[in-house]
Structure 1
Amino acid sequence: MELAEQAIVRRTRIRIGLLVGVTIGALLLLAGSISYAALIRSQEAQIQRELEWGTRHGTIAGPPACSWIFQYDGTTVDTGTNPPPPGFPLGDALDAVAATRATQITTVARNGTIYHVRTEARDAHVIQAVFDARFQLSDRRHLLLAFSLAAAVGLLAAMLTGVLVGRRAVAPLAEALTRQRRFVADASHELQTPIAQVHTRAQLIARRARTFGTATDLDELERLIGTTRRLGEIVDDLLLSAQLAAAPAGRPPNPPVDLTTLIATTVAAEAERAAERQVSLTVDTPGGPVPVPGVESALRRVVGELLANALTHTPAGGRIDVNLRTMDNCAELLIADTGEGFDQADAERIFDRFHRGKGSGDRRFGLGLALLREVVTSHHGTIEAEGHPERGARFTVCLPTTRSLITPGSVSRLERLRWRQLGAGRVLTARKPARTRSTQR
């Protein structure tokens, strides 16, 4: 499976697992909150009933457990035989009720606990009932502790369940992606031969038409040849994409590819086309070989596609510079043109599949640059695009010269800046003088 598809499957599995875990966690939190709220409400109601009974029917001599009852006749306070806790009774509350005859209910946090106090007028006296809620607070703490343990166990079970559900839920997606990739590879492979046969026969018929046919027949045959050529390009792109994704990770390493020779042959193949379009094409490479591990046909596709893309978007009188250099265990290829360019905001979007930029015409199908990224990524390299409208575009490809992975940060920023100045039309001397240079106009 392709690395991008593996990342999609992995992200989907993680999201499903998180969703299951969050759902179960939310349910546990909701159940615990409801239980805790119900306990507090029940305790508060029970405490108020105790206080109300104490002020209306209780006596100083025999208050309920955890309670105290005080009686105030306007001058003195009778606390009974049971010693009150420090700070009680509340004298201000007794005086206020004695004056207004209005019941007061309050709570006091003191002595490491919470006291609920009810002060109420009864006959000629004022009665104050105090309830110590330390046991109720202890029950709440025990409930929270039990809930925390249950929540921890529940979240662990939720995570395990999420992982299991995620794997089972994503398995069909992974299988579907694999089957899709296999179908594309099989279909592309089977279509190659008949498309090539149709293209060859169309060329033979067109050759005969040039001698015996009419101009109308010849135009139609040329259109047929162009259509079959474009159809073959699509099939080749799809097959290459499928082969890149299906390549086994443990296959024997390929022999190193000499980028210097590969670039020279690719540029020579495009020289005639560049001359027809009146585009200046220059090549600057090191004198010696620049070997990189990889697949020669795939890397040739990278150079050829970037060069063809530059020719497509460069008008007559323009210039294309192809430069190769090595630095920090990395071979860096830069292809810069003076064509129509593109908005820098689209620098990532142009690598999307089926994205067709301005001026692409019928020839392009939006697969080329997307496949280039797949090829470069499969070689543990990077590809970057930089452009400005009507001021040209620059594509930079970094490939490791060893089998170690490279990242965009493996090339120093200063070296990148010096190297990219070539694309801005400035002459910059590389570390080694160029020994291979060809110019076509």
Structure 2
Amino acid sequence: MDATDHAILRRTRLRIGLLVGLTIGALLLLAGGISYALLVHSQEAQIQRELAWGTAHGTIAGPPACSWIFHYDGMTVQTGLNPPPPGFPLTDALDTVATTRTTETTTLTRNGTTYHIRTEARGDRVIQAVFDARFQLSDRRHLLLALSLAAAVGLLAAMLTGVIVGRRAVAPLAEALTRQRRFVADASHELRTPIAQVHTRAQLIARRARTDGATTNLDDLERLIGTTRRLGEVVDDLLLSARLAAAPADRPPDPPVDLTVLITTTVAAETERAAERQVTLTLDTPTDPLPVPGVESALRRVVGELLANALTHTPAGGRITVTLRTVDNCAELVIADTGKGFDQADARRIFDRFHRGPGSGDRRFGLGLALLQEVVTSHHGTIEAEGHPARGARFTVRLPMRSPISTGRASRIRNLRTRQLRAGT
């Protein structure tokens, strides 16, 4: 698998782990919320029962420090032995109930706690029962703290479990992708020989037809040659894609490729074609070699395809500029043209496989630009496209002068040599 496939699988595993963790976390929160709601409901019901008992019998069975009973005969208020908190009894409620003879229930928050008050008329008196819910509030806080800790631990455990489940769930997909790549490589390799034979046989038949002066089926033979050529190019693309998708351990070390020589020879090969199309082709490269680690045939394909793409979309009288330079320890290749261009909104989608451009009808772009992006990415580089309709296009390829693998290997060799020298001394 290539870096893109690994990134997709990694994101899939993380998403599965996150979804499993969030689902289990949501279930824990739901269970905790239900437990908390049930606790609050039961406490409120118990408090109301205590208050109703207190107003009916003139006493409350709750803790003495948390409950008070007041008797009001219309003139004076009688309190029990337990001194009431500041602000009690509620004289306004006593007067109102004494006048209306209706039961009044009130909840007040003061003195750092919550009080539940029930004022009820009993015979010629009014009884007011007050209950301090500080212990119930403390129980709620303790329950919330326990639920929060349990939810945090449960969410962490759920996410870890989700990651493990996601890894095992995605493992068959990774194996399937590996088998698909291997099948593409094997099938493409087996197809190269018969396709090359068909292409060669078609060329021989066309050459004999020209020699014999038979022009009846010459056009069909030319189309057959073109078709087999394009089929061979597709097979080469598939082989190149499969090679680039191989794991780094399965690939031999990449030798340095001199981009200066590679680009110069590629541009020189397209000079005659540019002249036929009346397109000005200019090249600007450094005089010194510019080596980058990579596969020479793959990098040559990148330069050739970008240049061919520019020639295809640049009309007569246009201009194509190829520039190679060094930027921040990276080799930067810029191919700019004054051709048809494209909408900048399609800058990312043109690298998708078989992307259809606007107004292209049934024509598809195939593997071309998608394969180029795959080649550049496998070389730890980047490729960007910038375009404007009727104002040309600009493709920028950046390749690191040293690959991370080569740098790490060189560092290990230097460390080994240092240890050997120290041991020798």
- CA offset digits 1:343-376 (Å, max 9, x no partner): 1111111111112446989997421111111111
- CA offset digits 1:97-155 (Å, max 9, x no partner): 11222211011223332221100111111110111222222222222222223222311
Distance in structure 1 (CA, Å) of the matches to 2:363 and 2:145:
70
Distance in structure 1 (CA, Å) of the matches to 2:251 and 2:368:
26
Distance in structure 2 (CA, Å) of the matches to 1:83 and 1:154:
46
* CA separation of 1:237 and 1:358: change in aligned 2, threshold 3 A: farther
- CA offset digits 1:11-59 (Å, max 9, x no partner): 1101110111111111111111111111111111111111111112225
Is 1:305 paired with 2:305? Answer: yes
* CA separation of 1:348 and 1:67: change in aligned 2, threshold 3 A: same
- CA offset digits 1:395-416 (Å, max 9, x no partner): 11122223359xxxxxxxxxxx
Per-residue deviation at 1:250?
A: 7.4
Distance in structure 2 (CA, Å) of the matches to 1:63 and 1:29:
35
* CA separation of 1:234 and 1:356: change in aligned 2, threshold 3 A: farther
Contact 1:234/1:365 (<8 A) preserved: no
Give secondary structure in 2 for the equivalent of 1:83: coil
Q: 1:125 — aligned with what? A: 125
Q: 1:55 — aligned with what? A: 55
Q: 1:291 — aligned with what? A: 291
* CA separation of 1:376 and 1:313: change in aligned 2, threshold 3 A: same
Q: 1:315 — aligned with what? A: 315
* CA separation of 1:283 and 1:83: change in aligned 2, threshold 3 A: closer
Contact 1:63/1:69 (<8 A) preserved: no
Give secondary structure in 2 for the equivalent of 1:189: helix
Aligned residue-pair number: 403
Q: 1:391 — aligned with what? A: 391
TM-score for the superposition, normalised by structure 2: 0.89
* CA separation of 1:20 and 1:181: change in aligned 2, threshold 3 A: same
Contact 2:2/2:378 (<8 A) preserved: no
Per-residue deviation at 1:78?
A: 0.8
Q: 1:211 — aligned with what? A: 211
Distance in structure 2 (CA, Å) of the matches to 1:71 and 1:356:
88
Distance in structure 2 (CA, Å) of the matches to 1:249 and 1:208:
49
* CA separation of 1:152 and 1:203: change in aligned 2, threshold 3 A: same
Q: 1:241 — aligned with what? A: 241
Is 1:101 paired with 2:101? Answer: yes
AA in 2 matched with 1:387: G
Contact 1:331/1:398 (<8 A) preserved: yes
* CA separation of 1:184 and 1:250: change in aligned 2, threshold 3 A: closer
Contact 1:230/1:363 (<8 A) preserved: no
Q: 2:232 — aligned with what? A: 232
Distance in structure 2 (CA, Å) of the matches to 1:93 and 1:118:
9
Q: 1:420 — aligned with what? A: none
Give secondary structure in 1 for the equivalent of 2:217: helix
AA in 1 matched with 2:111: N
Distance in structure 1 (CA, Å) of the matches to 2:247 and 2:210:
45
Q: 1:188 — aligned with what? A: 188
Identity of aligned residues (%): 83
Alignment of 1:261-276 (within 5 A): 261-276=261-276
Q: 2:400 — aligned with what? A: 400
Contact 1:313/1:359 (<8 A) preserved: no
Mean Cα deviation higher: 211-220 or 94-103: 211-220
Distance in structure 2 (CA, Å) of the matches to 1:251 and 1:367:
22
AA in 1 matched with 2:112: G
Is 1:369 paired with 2:369? Answer: yes
* CA separation of 1:325 and 1:361: change in aligned 2, threshold 3 A: farther
- CA offset digits 1:253-310 (Å, max 9, x no partner): 3332121211121122222322222222222222232222222111111111111111
Give secondary structure in 2 for the equivalent of 1:216: coil
* CA RMSD after TM alignment: 2.1
Give secondary structure in 2 for the equivalent of 1:84: coil
Is 1:325 paired with 2:325? Answer: yes
Q: 2:15 — aligned with what? A: 15
* CA separation of 1:360 and 1:151: change in aligned 2, threshold 3 A: closer
* CA separation of 1:191 and 1:320: change in aligned 2, threshold 3 A: same
Give secondary structure in 1 for the equivalent of 2:286: coil
AA in 1 matched with 2:221: L
* CA separation of 1:35 and 1:343: change in aligned 2, threshold 3 A: same
Contact 2:3/2:377 (<8 A) preserved: no
Distance in structure 1 (CA, Å) of the matches to 2:330 and 2:385:
18
Give secondary structure in 2 for the equivalent of 1:209: helix
Distance in structure 1 (CA, Å) of the matches to 2:361 and 2:304:
18
AA in 1 matched with 2:158: A
Give secondary structure in 1 for the equivalent of 2:126: strand
Distance in structure 1 (CA, Å) of the matches to 2:84 and 2:131:
11
AA in 1 matched with 2:241: S
AA in 2 matched with 1:135: F
Distance in structure 2 (CA, Å) of the matches to 1:364 and 1:70:
90
Q: 1:439 — aligned with what? A: none
Give secondary structure in 2 for the equivalent of 1:283: strand
Per-residue deviation at 1:385?
A: 1.3
Per-residue deviation at 1:64?
A: 4.6
Is 1:140 paired with 2:140? Answer: yes
Contact 2:58/2:127 (<8 A) preserved: no
Is 1:171 paired with 2:203? Answer: no
Distance in structure 1 (CA, Å) of the matches to 2:254 and 2:146:
61
